[in-house]
Structure 1
Amino acid sequence: MPEQQPVIVRTNQLSSVSQVVPNQPFLTSSPFKWDGMIMRYAWQPAWETPKHYNTQHLILIHYSQDSINSERQLDGLRQDEQFSHGDMVLVPANILHKACWNRGGETISIALAPTHLAQLAHESIDSDRIELLPQFAHPDRLIYSIGVALKEELEAGEASSRLYIDALTTALAAHLIRRYATRHHDLGDYTGRLPKLKLQSVLDYIHAYLDLDLSVGELAAIAQMSRYHFSRLFKQSTGLSPHQYVLQCRIEKAKQLLQEPELPITEIYQLLGFQSQSHFTKVFHKHTGITPKAYRGNRK
C-alpha cells in the first residue's frame, strides 16, 4: 500500500489546520487581522497528526501545567519528547512535520508569515533569505512570555492596538532570527536617541492622528528606519515604547476633553481611537485610578 502523501496546511486558514488537529481553538486572532501573525489557543486530545507541511512558520507552546509525552518528526529527524509547561516547538515553513502525543493538553500556537520575517530581516540586516532551524521541545522564556501576552490580549475581548501587537510580533521575529536562524545574524543593539527632527516628526504625526489605529510601520517610515531599530531608539528617546507613548497621549487628551461637559463620553472614546467605551473606561482607569465619568464629576 503506497504511503500517504503529506498534507499541505495553510496555517493561516483554520479549515486547513483542522486537517491535522481535531479541535477548534478557544481563542483566535483571525478576526482582528494581526499583521503577519495568527495566534490560536486550543485544547487538543491525545492525537496523531498526519505528515504535513505548514505554509507559515509555526511555534507551539505547551500551556498545560501537566507534561505530555510526545513523539515528533521534524525534517527527517525523530525525537521522543516530554512537552512541559512553557516549552516550545518551532516548525519552520515547508518543513515535514509529524507528531503524536499521549494525553490532552492546552497549546498556544503562533503562525508567523515567512514574508513578515523576511521583511524584518531585509530592513535590519544584509540578507535576502532567512532560514530557521527546526526545534524540538525545549524552554524559551521570551517566546513563552510573548505567547502568554498574546493570549491575554485575546481574552480581554477587545481589538488590540496595532502598536502593541506590532511590538510583540517584531520582538518575536527578531528573537527567531537571532537565535534560531541557520546562521548567526546580528540585528545590532542601537544605542542613543532618534535625531531631534525625526523624533519631532513622529510625535507630530502621533498627535495629529490619535484617533487612528497607528502601526509601528507607519511611524518607522516617518523616521526612515526599520521597525526594529525605530522601536528601540524611540524608547531610548522618550522613555516609553511607541504603544505606551500613544496611550499616554490619548489619556492626556481625554482629560482635556472630559473638561468639556457638553461633549459626551460616547464621542470622546471615538475621537481618541479606542474600540469601545468599555475599552476606554478600562484603560483610563488603569492609568488614572478613576473612571472617565468620575474624573469629569470631580472637575465640576
Structure 2
Amino acid sequence: MSNDQLPRIFIRTDEQARIPYFAVPPVASGGDTGSYAFEHRAVDAGSLGSHTFDAHVLMLPVGPDPVRFWSRLNGRPVSGLIEPGRFRFLAHGDTLATSWNAPLQGLFLTLPQALFAQALGDSVDTRPIELVSRLTPHEDRLLAHLLHAIQAYAMGQRLGGRLFEQSLLTAVAAHVSMTYGAGRRELLRGPSLPRWKQQRLRQFIQEHLSSDLNLNALAAMMNMSPYHLGRVFRATTGRTLWQFVLECRAKEAHRWIAAHPTLPLSKIAEACGFESYSQFIAVFRKFYGQRPSEFRRSL
C-alpha cells in the first residue's frame, strides 16, 4: 500500500471543512480505513485553530523534551507542558484550539465510536459510552504499551496477523472506556469459558486455519462480543486468542512439512493461513526453535 493510500487523520474546522490534521505529511502512518488511523508526526512550533475530530484521539508525545502548550477545550483555557511519554486524550465532538512553542513529535491514534460498540458489546450496559477529554498530560503504561504495539503493526511488522491487530484495538477500546469514561464505569466481570464452548471454538479454528480468522467472526460464531470472548479465553487458558491461532497454524505447518517433503514451504504457509511467508518463519521458529527449512532438512 502506497503512502497516498494509507489511512490519514482528518479534522473539521468551524466551517465544517474536512482537512488533513496537518498539511505536512506524517513521518509514518498506517491503519485500516473505516476502523482506525495511526500517525507518527513531527511538527514545528505552531498552532491549530478551532477544530474537532471525527473520532476519539489518543496523543502520545515521543520527542526528547517537554513542550509548553496553550489550548482552549470547548472554550475553556488549558495550558501546561506536553511531556514525553504522557498521554493527552480528546473525545469525539469536543472542540480544540491549541498552540505550542517548540518542535513536537507524537504518536496519534484515532478510535471511532463504532469500535467501542463492536468491541465491548455485551460486556457493558446498553447505554452509549460517553468519553471525557483529558488534555492534562498523564501517564498510562499499559496504554503506552498497546499504542507502541499498534505502531509496530501499522508500520508493517505484521507478524501477529489480522487477529492480533483486532485484539490490540479491542484492548485499547476497553482500556480507554474505563480510563476516560464518564464516571469511570467498570466493565462487568464475566465467567470463564465453559469446556464445551472451548471445544467448539477450538474445532472451528482448526477447521478454518486457512481462512481469515478475524476476531469479529470468532465472536459472532460464539455469540459473544469480541472483547468478552478475548477476555474469558485468556482468563480460562492463559493465552490470547491470536497466540492460540498462531500455535495451531504452526502445528499444522509442522505436520504438513513432515507429510509433504517436496511441497514448497510457501505453499504450506499459504495452506496453513499465515498472512505472509515472513510471519510463517517467525511463528514456526517461535514454537519449534528452528526455521521451517531447518526442520525439513532435519527430517
Q: How many residues align?
A: 285
Check conservation: 2:249, 2:274, Cα contact below 8 A.
no
SS at match of 1:50: strand
Q: 2:298 matched to 1:298? A: yes
TM alignment of 1:62-77, pairs within 5 A: 62-77=61-76
The structure-2 alpha-carbon separation of the partners of 1:257 and 1:17, relative to structure 1 and needing over 3 Å to count, comes to: same
Tell whether the 8 Å contact from 1:73 to 1:79 is kept in structure 2 after alignment.
Answer: yes
- Paired residue secondary structure (1:25): coil
> In the alignment, is the contact (CA less than 8 A) between 2:159 and 2:278 conserved in 1?
no
Q: Which runs of 5+ in 1 are unaligned?
A: 11-15
Q: 1:17 aligns with which of 20, 40, 44?
A: 20
What does 1:7-46 align with in structure 2 at a 5 Å threshold?
Answer: 8=16, 16-18=19-21, 21-30=22-31, 33=32, 36-46=35-45
C-alpha change, 1:64 and 1:152, in structure 2 (3 Å) is same
For the Cα contact (< 8 Å) 1:51–1:97, is it kept in 2? Answer: yes
Q: Kindly indicate whether the alpha-carbon contact (under 8 Å) linking 1:52 and 1:98 is maintained by their aligned counterparts in 2.
A: yes
**CA 140–34 in structure 1, closer or farther in 2 if over 3 Å, else same:** farther
Residue 183 (structure 1) aligns with: 183
CA distance in 1, matches of 2:287, 2:70: 47
Q: Distance in 2 between matches of 1:52 and 1:177?
A: 23
Give secondary structure in 1 for the equivalent of 2:49.
coil
SS in 2 for 1:98: strand
Contact 2:120 2:226 in 1 (8 A): no
Does the CA contact (< 8 Å) of 2:121 and 2:226 recur in 1?
no
Superposed counterparts of 1:149-164, under 5 Å: 149-158=149-158, 161-164=161-164
Contact 2:131/2:177 (<8 A) preserved: yes
Kept in 2, the 8 Å contact 1:74–1:91? The answer is no
TM-score normalized by the length of structure 1: 0.88
Secondary structure of 1:49 counterpart: strand
Q: 1:6 aligns with which of 14, 25, 28?
A: 14
CA distance in 1, matches of 2:123, 2:79: 37
Structure 1 residue 270: deviation in Å? 0.8
Question: In the alignment, is residue 148 of structure 1 matched against residue 140 of structure 2?
Answer: no
> Structure 1: which amino acid aligns with 2:257?
L
Structure 2: gaps spanning 5 or more residues:
1-12
1:126 is aligned to: 125
Whichever residue aligns with residue 51 of structure 2, its letter is: H
AA partner of residue 122 (structure 2): E
Q: For 1:129 and 1:158, how far apart are their aligned partners in 2?
A: 32
Deviation at residue 17 of structure 1 after TM alignment: 2.2
5 Å-filtered alignment, 1:154-233, equals 154-158=154-158, 161-191=161-191, 193-233=192-232
Identity of aligned residues (%): 26
Following superposition, the deviation at residue 84 of structure 1 comes to: 1.3
Query: 1: distance between equivalents of 2:142 and 2:153?
Result: 17
